[in-house]
Structure 1
Amino acid sequence: MTFQVPVGKQRDFCLGSDARINIAHGAVRSAKTVGANVRWLRAVLEAPAGVNLLMAGKTLFSLERNVLSPIARLVGSNNFDYKRSLKTAYIYGRPIMVEGGNDEAAYSKIAGLTLGGAYVDEGSLVPESFTNMLITRLSEPGAQLFLTTNPGPPAHYLKKRWIDREEELDLKAWHFTLEDNPWLDWIYIEELKRQFGPPSSLFYQRYVLGLWVMAEGAIYRNFDREAHVVPALPDGRLEEMRVAVDPGATHPTAMLKAFRIGTSWYIAGEYRKADKSPAEVSKDLKLFLAGMHPSSIDVDPAAKAHRLQFIGDGVQGVQQADNDVLNGIQRVINALDQGWLHLVGPSTPMLQEEMEAYRWDPKATERGEDQPIKEGDDLVDCLRYLVNRISKSRRLTPPPRRRGSRS
């Protein structure tokens, strides 16, 4: 069985990844996965009969989306099958175990295995306990690990314990930038740089330059009251309304309203009160809606009791919010930079204060994690829910690429 070896740094990874541990790390959209997928196919074909192989990601869903689907397209339907219920993919007829490493207990899923090869996607999102257990399981002669990841904090275990010790260990690491993806059009690269800018920002350095840098200081550094706060809703037709709710048990309950006028969105209503039962919050939500019917009411996914209370009380449009914290923060930053998100001053004073006070947690950074300080963040959580939802509805078709973009 033959397949085309990629070009550039992807080719270097495919042909040079002969260490026990092989890591492709760096920027988003830098085609790390292209090289890793082809290298993994080679490993599958070369693995001795009878040895166990494993593919893992943060979740099975992310593994399916990021790796299994592209591999299926690469090898064709005759050479690929996937049985999710059995946690098994079949590539060139070879059964390969698949697993998710989403939490600290996930290592127990692979304890006791003997492996001849493994592929890990989104390595920085997989717990250290899972990675450690996986490496101990690679005990067959010649067993290798191939791992792809975007960068995190410099104290992250993957950087500190593995990548930084490349000279000491049987390990090779490849650093990828956006320019290493030969399938990306330069216009698209420039747009990504603009979206993740300025160059000094955490997200630019992480996701454009592919650097392992610290998250520190103010999160919404680009929030400017003069640029982003307006005195009132502008004239024009209110075309859409969305609401977000962050119910509180040990913290205040928060709500935000967002209105679309033309192509811009305006946050024009806030609520933050403590010591309210789900039934009381439901009554307050109805008053907050003021008889209007939003397209969606995004509620913290952890607040099941509140969602059921709202639904039981006849509130329409209730759904689980997308609580992706880091990507959500970047989407808010992008929305402010792109100029389509505004706050109406008189109706959002508490939100403005929270945005200016929102900070990265230095203790989490020391542990190698990215986390905002969980204090005074009720309304900014709601803002993230809203922008996560709105962003999905206003995605633009990316600029044309020379030969079809690959990830």
Structure 2
Amino acid sequence: MWLLNTKSTTLEFFNEAQVLNHPYAILSHVWGSEEVLWHELREDRTAVHDKAGWKKITRFCATAEKYGFAYAWIDTCCIDKRSSADLTEAINSMFKYYYDAAVCFVYFQDVHKYVDQGNDSLIGAMEVTRAQLLSAVRATRWLSRAWTLQELLAPARRCFFAADWSEIKGGGDLLDVLAESAKISRQLIEDRSLLRSFCIGERMSWASKRYVTRGEDVAYSLMGLFDVHMPVMYGEGAEAAFKRLQREIMQSSFDMTIFAWRANYESSGLLARSPADFADVPPLGLWAPWNLAPFSMTNVGLSIRVNITDEQQILDNIKQHQQKFEKPRSGVTLLAALQCDVQTPTGQWQIPMVYLEPVKGARFFVNGKCLNAYRRVRCAEWMILPSKQFVGCPFEDILVLQDEQYELARQATQQHFSRRES
């Protein structure tokens, strides 16, 4: 791990054991257009002295030294981004870097503590009110970026700074602004150990309206929040990276809220395409692991056991005040219950059911069973049912095809019958 010496602003390398003996301050910020990179700091330093990023580094180091830290870390120049191995290690370790830091300095470059502050001089400047300051924090770009989500949640201690590097005093009102703007529980911001108590769907929703410069970072910036690690492959695309993240999460979790998303797609697999699909999800809750079945991604689709029925049976049961389910009719749109709960606007906890449509002619053998294949349809909606209306609903082991598997199934079927007819 490369650390900045706060006195000399030079880079020094420490192995994992050595880092434990060198407490460091870490910076959370939004990148600008003139950042100083690792190789620039290692080469001719005079060439970067006119860059805005150099001024940020020197002010950060000076502030860290003032707070008693001999070393500091900043993502612009403490990662050799020319090395794919170093970049992959750093991105996979990023959450840990912030978690292990003695303090995180959060720098709001677009928040000013003084009226009409256009330079570093504070002579005659009038300080803004606390309400005005908090309003500026609420609108800061820092709250809109994907990478800063983990930088908010991972550190044990945070200090906040305005554009001139003057400290913004903390307090309950500042935490309230951060929690409200980030749509995150204030209790979590105060106690990072609570992170695992929030379900996957809710954690995804925190990232649903955040932005990245490189598309793949929608996934890479979330690895730490789910305690997963995976190769970094810029160029694979945002959707591919995000689906790969979900597959990694499923390797160690039975939390079905990972499927509790809604988006305006005509057809889809059960994996979301973006964190944006989790925007505006209602509060979610897990089921106790009494009768849960494992689910996993295979090369022929997502293998999963779900309670399954059709919409007409549900409507008939509601109308007739009964719980009578029969085997769903073949060839119709079905409803599959996710093994989790959602909270209604009136405060009730009910079961979400997503719409599935059979893939014509697609059946696969998985673990000795012949499974029907489906696609999720009407993805912008789901039906919710009270658990008492769900008693007796049959379950079925099925496959839900992702986009690439669905297209391959269609292509293979078309070519197969085309050959038979020729």
- Does TM, scored on the shorter chain, surpass 0.5? no
Normalising by the smaller structure, the TM-score range is under 0.3
Q: TM-score, normalization: structure 1?
A: 0.26
Higher relative contact order (CA 8 A, sep 6+): 1
Mark the structure with the bigger radius of gyration: 2
